[in-house]
Amino acid sequence: MGMSSATETLCGQSFGAGQHYMMGIHLQRSWIVDLTTVTIFLPVLIFGSQIYKLVGQEESIANSGGYISLWFIPYVYSYVFSLTIQMYLQAQLKNMIIAWIAAFQFVIHILVSLLFVYKLNLGVSGAMLALVISSWALVIGEFIYVFGGWCPNTWKGFTIAAFKDLVPVVKLSISSGVMLCLEMWYYCILVLLAGYMENAEVAISAFSISLNIYAWEFTICLGFLGAGCVRVANELGRGKAEAVKFSIKTVVGTSAMIGVFFFVLCLVFQKRIAYLFTNDERVADAASDLSLLLSFSVLLNGIYPVLSGIAIGAGMQTVVAIINLVSFYLIGIPLGVMLGYLTSLQVKGIWIGMIVGVLAQSLTLIYMMWRTNWDDEVNKASERLLRFYVKSNENSEQYSICPN
């Protein structure tokens, strides 16, 4: 996801600048970079159990996690295509197409999950198989749309031009990857820390329930992240600094209102939400103890993902990566460890550390956006487009391979 966000930056700014044919080249370049990246990191999934045991996890948790990680190998390869094509389509404002294909995937996922888990009683294996099938169904749907001629201005067929000038793309992809990985891994590390608590199974269960609720609301805010990224990238490509500022105000304000709505919702329902996931009274009580902190977390969800999207649209990934490193790993995690292990707060202490880290990041990003000279960013976007520019097929034979 992180490496693919470079596709959002390049495709969004190219679309705004009217360089539509470059979007297909950016998409193919992102496939090359992402496929290479996934393959390099494949041993992490293959040796999942050994890695969990190496860091001291309980054997039952390590074995379960390692088994599931093997199922993620075909799933993660689907992300190479699904995420990049989604960003490619978003950049040209084809959001409804993405929504319809995703709805198709969702229906398939529900049907095959019911079949494998409940009818055939395949358990975890059935659930993961359903996930793999539905994820590749999404990819196939995207392929049909892109290759079938519904993107005539932006997809001109496969081209060897995608293999040229990959170094700048790799650099932007790495900075994008570091930025989002530092953000996403933050929550994974917090779950890992919960695994060392007393009564770890209850702690992890309660923490995972709260993170699931958090993630549900976060996906809505990811939509605003995408919207902010596309609008900012498009307007920078067009060279309209004032339109960029207006887009930022609109998307941040709207997303913040969504965050307030879910903040109130979590406060109202509290413990009852946990019973959507479990019948275990101990787990439900532990999750209920986190409900107030969860409410403030979903409130912050309405702000910081959008700011990250704006940064991606403007190509500021490197700066935000540094902010994420400081906020999450030098502030949030150390504070969570201290409160979780040196006080009686336990899991609540870890979550408080998480909130403080997110708050530090949000305030820093708000200040950064306020201080940014968007006229300068327009010039930087213009220079970036020139650096990645390849002549269209009207002036060269670059699209001689597999044209539509």
The tens digit of pLDDT for each residue in 55-110 reads: 888 888 889 999 999 999 999 999 999 999 999 999 998 989 999 999 999 999 99
Helix pair 333-341, 347-371: axis angle to 10 deg: 160
CA neighbours closer than 13 Å in the CB half-sphere of residue 262: 25
Please state, in angstroms and rounded to a whole number, the distance separating the CA atoms of residues 82 and 336: 34
Instruction: Return the residue matching tokens 């009580």.
Output: 285
Burial class, 367, CB count within 10 angstroms (exposed 0-12 / middle 13-18 / buried 19+) = exposed
pLDDT confidence of residue 386: 78
pLDDT confidence of residue 392: 54
Q: Is the pLDDT of residue 295 over 60?
A: yes
Q: Is the pLDDT of residue 282 over 90?
A: no
CA end-to-end span of the chain: 28
Mean residue pLDDT of the chain comes to 86
The tens digit of pLDDT for each residue in 191-234 reads: 777 777 776 677 778 777 888 888 888 888 878 888 888 889 99
pLDDT band of 404, cuts 50, 70, 90: very low
pLDDT band of 401, cuts 50, 70, 90: very low
3-state SS class at 174: helix
Burial class, 175, CB count within 10 angstroms (exposed 0-12 / middle 13-18 / buried 19+) = buried
